[in-house]
Amino acid sequence: MNSNSPRASSKGIILILAFMLINLYGCRQLEIKKTGTADVSLYKKYESYFSVGAAVAPKHLSSVADILEFHFNRLAAENDMKFGPIHPAAGRYSFSNADAIANFARNNSMTMTGHTFVWHRQQPSWLFSGLSPGNTRDIETLKNQLKNHIETLVNRYDDVVDNWDVVNEAISDTGGKTYRDGSEGSEWYRIFQSEEYIYWAFKYSQDALAAKGSNAKLYYNDYNVTVPSKLNKILSMVQWLRSRGLRIDGIGLQGHWKLDWPTLSDIRSAINKISTAGLEVKISELDISIYTNDDWSTHAWEAEKAFTEQLETQQAVRYRELFMLFKANSGRITSVTFWGVSDDATWLDYHPKRRNDYPLLFDDRHKPKLAYYAITDF
Ligand code: XIL
């Protein structure tokens, strides 16, 4: 066909139009502007879709109090409800930090995510000391401690916590292995010599909530949930719990993500798969690292870099795409919680190594970043 034919020229026009549209879209993205103030409340913007939370330490309740009150309707304790911090010795609880966070939430009509009953990290050493792997009496001792721990926390915080991370990171990333075992750091697995502790954690949680007449939800929380092999293991754990008569309400995708990982389509598939299994979804620990060249297999970490304007724009576009995806799936997503508030206080400054990262919506001086405007501009 000759290129001057009407068909060819209409094709050309369509191509030009498509090109113009793509450019317009690109400009629109680059058009996101900082105004200096953040006068659109983040949680109000998303109120009809899902709640919006932040993980905090007590110091945040004064250092970024205004931001918390204005932008968030959910809190999680970044560390202070974990087993070690809140239950540092047998029979002794240390509630003051968790209480401060819970009271801030209560005073500001926020709800909380309870994080977390069972994790292989930040456990107190007393809990496992003197216990022998596989010993029936020792397993009973550990079960009793767990039951007491769960009942105590549920009783104290049920009025403000609407969902609990019952178990955190118990699934293995290793091919051919479903559960994280002793060799991957789980003292729980090592003493029980099996994944049976997960059953008991959900059982005691379910019973404690029922005794209170509570409607709080029970979640399993993990990273790499968008990796299909890991999600399959998680869903087989869900089936196993259900086959034993237990309830599990939802899966938390931690959301410690990067500028280029995971893909939107991997996140979308994970959300679909989880909700097809009859479970709620939450994004529980969202932060977007600027480091995209770490190699976890060799522990070769990218060198410290500056947060350039280009990276800030890239991050804003990434946040916008993610929130548009969350919004489109709002019937399945119950909450989105950021793992921190501002870049001056992020665990990623120390993980996987000491290096400044800039993963949150507010900068080191607590000013809104481009990402904030990108997700509130609709
Ligand atoms: C992190 C905290 O942010 C740090 O302050 C602490 O030193 C280690 O734990 N997955 C989780 C969170 O479920 O509890 C972790 O929080 C981050 C990874």
Closest residue by Cα to residue 212 from 283, 169, 164, 174: 164
CATH code for the domain of 332: 3.20.20.80
pLDDT at 10: 56
Q: Report if residue 222 sits inside a domain.
A: yes
> CA of 112: how far to CAs of 49, 53, 74, 166, in Å?
17, 8, 5, 14
* Residues facing residue 54 across a β-bridge: 75, 338
Instruction: Evaluate if residue 64 carries a pLDDT over 70.
Output: yes
- Pull the structure tokens for residue 8: 């060819």
Q: Report if residue 150 sits inside a domain.
A: yes
Q: Report if residue 338 sits inside a domain.
A: yes
Q: Report the chain's mean pLDDT, rounded to a whole number.
A: 93
Residue range(s) defining the domain that contains residue 90:
10-376
Number of domains in the chain: 1
Which one of 97, 347, 353 would you pick to mutate in the ligand 1 pocket, going by the greatest count of ligand atoms within 8 A of its CB? 347
Residue nearest atom 9 of ligand 1, based on CA coordinates: 79
pLDDT digits (tens, 9 = 90+) for 25-50: 443 454 677 776 789 999 999 999 99
pLDDT at 52: 99
Q: Report if residue 276 sits inside a domain.
A: yes
DSSP one-letter string for 330-368 = TTTEEEEEES-SBTTS-GGGSSSSS-----SSB-TTSPB
pLDDT confidence bin for 12, thresholds 50/70/90: low
Using a pLDDT cut of 70, give the percent of the chain over it.
Answer: 92
pLDDT digits (tens, 9 = 90+) for 174-225: 999 999 999 999 999 999 999 999 999 999 999 999 999 999 999 999 999 9
Q: What are phi and psi of 162, to 5 degrees?
A: -105, -5
Instruction: Evaluate if residue 245 carries a pLDDT over 80.
Output: yes
> For this structure, is 31 an active site residue?
no
- Pull the structure tokens for residue 101: 């966070």
Q: Report if residue 5 sits inside a domain.
A: no
Cβ of 254 less than 6 Å from ligand 1: yes
Instruction: Evaluate if residue 233 carries a pLDDT over 50.
Output: yes
pLDDT digits (tens, 9 = 90+) for 112-169: 999 999 999 999 999 999 999 999 999 999 999 999 999 999 999 999 999 999 999 9
Q: Report if residue 4 sits inside a domain.
A: no
Q: Report if residue 2 sits inside a domain.
A: no
Cα gap 43→39, rounded to integer Å: 12
Instruction: Evaluate if residue 3 carries a pLDDT over 80.
Output: no
Cα gap 271→269, rounded to integer Å: 5
pLDDT digits (tens, 9 = 90+) for 287-324: 999 999 999 999 999 999 999 999 999 999 999 999 99
List the alpha helices (DSSP H) in the chain. Answer: 6-30, 42-45, 60-63, 65-71, 83-86, 96-107, 136-157, 187-192, 196-212, 228-243, 264-276, 309-328, 370-376
pLDDT at 228: 98
Catalytic residue among 47, 151, 169, 304: 169
pLDDT at 299: 96
Instruction: Evaluate if residue 23 carries a pLDDT over 90.
Output: no
Cβ of 240 less than 6 Å from ligand 1: no
pLDDT at 130: 98
Q: How many angstroms separate the alpha carbon of residue 55 from the centre of ligand 1?
A: 10
Instruction: Evaluate if residue 94 carries a pLDDT over 80.
Output: yes
The ligand 1 atom at the shortest distance from the C-alpha of residue 55 is 3
pLDDT digits (tens, 9 = 90+) for 340-375: 999 999 999 999 999 999 999 999 999 999 999 999
Q: How many angstroms separate the alpha carbon of residue 44 from the centre of ligand 1?
A: 27
> For this structure, is 195 an active site residue?
no
Q: Report if residue 145 sits inside a domain.
A: yes
Cα gap 325→315, rounded to integer Å: 15
